[in-house]
Structure 1
Amino acid sequence: MSIRLLLILSCIIFLTGCASVKQVQSDRVKPIETLSDFNGSYKNYAVENDSLTGKTLWNRLNYQATGSESNMTGETIVRLKALNTKQIEITLFQRNKLINSVIINGKLKQNYFVSRHNRKIIPVPFIYGHFSNKQLQFSIDQYNNLTLDGINNQWGWVFVFLASRDNSFTDRYKKM
């Protein structure tokens, strides 16, 4: 029983490692030398959005946004600041007032800052199981706007019933 569970979990982890964020057209991406190239303030609402949900930049970057932060209205901006070679601090401001801040870990790969996979696995054999995988990547376009690409894969089962949801998105946020 435990060997079978281990084999199933190994397959899940192996197969989900293949899930990756799609790459933006290379002619639209500005060459990035260091993480400090992302430093700046960006509008919280997308200028271009290819998904139906139309989430704000803050909600895309912060998976744990609270209800009060997710329903922000008015003049909101998101400021990005490189802390070191593997971390970017993201800060939400409303009318120049600091609302919240979060740090995203990742690394610079071929002109993109790619966040670490945010995986969650809940294995309870034959009763309940859940798997989710979230990942983001940032790039800067030729107009110095922030392009955010992401994936969100989830699936789970209760007894015998299986359900899944996969989505990816590309949003562009104007630099201020």
Structure 2
Amino acid sequence: MDPDPDAAKLVGLLADDARLAVVAALVLGATDIASVAAATGRSQTEVALAARRLGRGGLVRRDGAGLELRAEVFAAAARSAGEHRPPPEPLSADPAADAVLQAFVHEGRLTSIPAHRAKRLVVLDHLVRVFEPGVRYPEREVNALLAVWHPDTAALRRYLVDEGLLSRDAGVYWRSGGTVEV
């Protein structure tokens, strides 16, 4: 196998039921074709063919009938995949705010509402940008906009009002604070 293993190739090797069963049996302590066959309920021929393919892929070392899983290949592939991943798009120009947002926002959704007030303020300032300054929103529309971010719309709405980012009167809300992009 390459010195820089490809995680996608490893996943492809394990996408076959027989090969996956062989790897599982080796992880659980099987050491040869016969013990893998006994552990998986597969024929020795099927195990030998799967082991040969895993060997060509660099996951299994064969010594006659003996088999050894090269677990270090998984770790190397994971490291390599992490190194080649592009950095996430910044959510804020401020590095400190971006660090908070990266911790709490994943794929455009809020994973949790920060308990620490300073972090919560950073997140709320980010969320309030969905509301246009000068526009009045009925509560139902506020809930719909906040539900895109997190299912607990009542908590988000309450935090936004309590922190002065939204104001409300008679069930109508409007943006009254937060950073405005020019």
TM range (shorter): under 0.3
Q: What TM-score, normalized to structure 1?
A: 0.22
User: Higher Cα Rg: structure 1 or 2?
Assistant: 2
Q: What TM-score, normalized to structure 2?
A: 0.22
Question: Does 1 or 2 have the higher relative contact order (CA < 8 Å, sep 6+)?
Answer: 1
Q: Which has the higher helix share?
A: 2
Q: Which has the higher strand share?
A: 1
